Amino acid sequence: MSNRPIYLDCHATTPLDERVLAAMLPYFTEKFGNPASISHVYGWEAEAAVKQTREILAAAINATPEEIVFTSGATESNNLAIKGIAEAYFQKGQHIITVATEHKAVLDPCEYLKTLGFEITILPVKQDGIINLTQLETACRPDTILVSVMAANNEIGVLQPIAEIGKICRDRNIIFHTDAAQAIGKIPLDVQTMNIDLMSLTAHKVYGPKGIGALYVRRRNPRVQLAPQQHGGGHERGMRSGTLYAPQIVGFGKAVEIALAEQATETPRLNQLRQNLWTQLSQLEGIHLNGHPTQRLPGNLNISVEGVDGAALTLGLQPVMAVSSGSACSSAVTAPSYVLTALGHPEQLAYASVRFGIGRFNTSQEIDIVAKSAIATIQSLRKQKILVEK
């Protein structure tokens, strides 16, 4: 039996599925060609593999293969979407709308655009983490060129009403971008029925390799124009130059293919594991569920704990479980989660939070171990605090 902590941080990253690794391996060795080398068999093999993944990703979101642009991950996809729209449409308007609980890969590009003269409206969220659609409608203006709202939150797992947001944007001829890094392969996504114009994706949140992502860019009704942020070679229809990393792309396709094939059984299993964990933890007083109770990713449970120090809580849990107190991309910052403060949490609760990211390889036995350990840790920390205060 492994002495390593039980891994419950699947919103930060997921382990590579062995089936994905098996699909990738030939493209590191025997099928190592450059997909852009179309004059020999090595290039043809790589090109065919890339084409297949475009088809898999397109089918997963009801797009066409030509609308899939490969990137290095969701952060690059978000930057390409937001900056690319700003540069391509600045003559039409310089107003962008986003949400306070977005990933930093959306908020930071928006902050950068402010330095160039763009106006950014950051919408608040309700206590359950979901935006108010009326506020979104009110915020839309004739010079609004982009609305960016993530499909599933990386910290609290909340699912935004993407189809409703898409309709609001379509009715007003505003381009709609969604960061779906946490959503692909876990919840149904359809760029047509949801009126999505740009969608950021990544592989490593769905048991694929790190370092590969994609951006869906709508080609018709309406045709979305993007100013490239990386030049040189004209790859990906000129939107993102650079040699395509065929092994990573193959892994991306295989990961999404597996996730879609297993979604019908995996979703209820993860929901049950999450519910089991919450049922046990909520027996303690002063445990708060962060985010909407049901409108959330199946494997996400985010809690705040009264009466404990946040740093001590994280440290106390470490021997048994690998969990996070917030976004992995911001984990080095010693500040309360901005997502939780956006929900209206006081500083103590925002600090003393735990994000459980339950995944494909977790078992019910592991969940029971984690629950018992977390309860014991919280009770111990509360007793220590009482003794210190006395």
Question: Mean pLDDT throughout 23-42?
Answer: 92
| Segments of the chain assigned E as strands | 6-7, 68-71, 95-99, 119-123, 144-148, 175-179, 198-202, 213-217, 287-289, 300-305, 321-322, 353-357
At 243 the pLDDT is: 84
At 79 the pLDDT is: 97
pLDDT at position 331 over 50:
no
pLDDT at position 305 over 90:
yes
**Mean pLDDT across the chain, nearest whole number?**
93
pLDDT at position 354 over 50:
yes
At 237 the pLDDT is: 77
Q: Which of 37-46, 117-126, 243-252, 379-388 has the lowest mean pLDDT?
A: 379-388
At 334 the pLDDT is: 62
Structural contact between residues 36 and 244, judged by C-beta atoms closer than 8 angstroms: yes
Quote the CA–CA distance of 69 and 213 in Å, as a whole number: 9
pLDDT digits (tens, 9 = 90+) for 222-266: 999 999 888 887 787 767 878 899 999 999 999 999 999 999 999
At 386 the pLDDT is: 55
Its pTM stands at 0.94
CATH topology for 18-256 is: Aspartate Aminotransferase; domain 2 (3.40.640)
At 363 the pLDDT is: 98
At 348 the pLDDT is: 87
At 138 the pLDDT is: 98
Q: Alpha carbon of 54 to those of 58, 63, 253, 302: distances in Å?
A: 6, 10, 8, 34
For the packed helices 364-389 and 310-317, what is the interaxial angle rounded to 10 degrees? 140
Task: Name residues whose C-beta falls within 8 Å of residue 199's C-beta, 6 or more positions apart in sequence.
Answer: 61, 151, 177, 178, 180, 189, 191, 215, 216
Taking the chain, what is the end-to-end CA distance rounded to the nearest angstrom? 42
Sequential DSSP letters for 40-89: SHHHHHHHHHHHHHHHHHHHHHT--GGGEEEESSHHHHHHHHHHHHHHHH
Question: Mean pLDDT throughout 63-88?
Answer: 97
Quote the CA–CA distance of 150 and 199 in Å, as a whole number: 9
pLDDT digits (tens, 9 = 90+) for 172-204: 999 999 999 999 999 999 999 999 999 999 999
At 1 the pLDDT is: 46
pLDDT digits (tens, 9 = 90+) for 120-167: 999 999 999 999 999 999 999 999 999 999 999 999 999 999 999 999
At 238 the pLDDT is: 65
* Active site positions, annotated: 329
pLDDT at position 332 over 70:
no
Question: Mean pLDDT throughout 298-309?
Answer: 95
Would you kindly state where each structural domain of the chain is located, as residue ranges? 6-14+264-389, 18-256
Q: Which residue type sits at 146?
A: L
Architecture of domain 6-14+264-389: Alpha-Beta Complex (3.90)
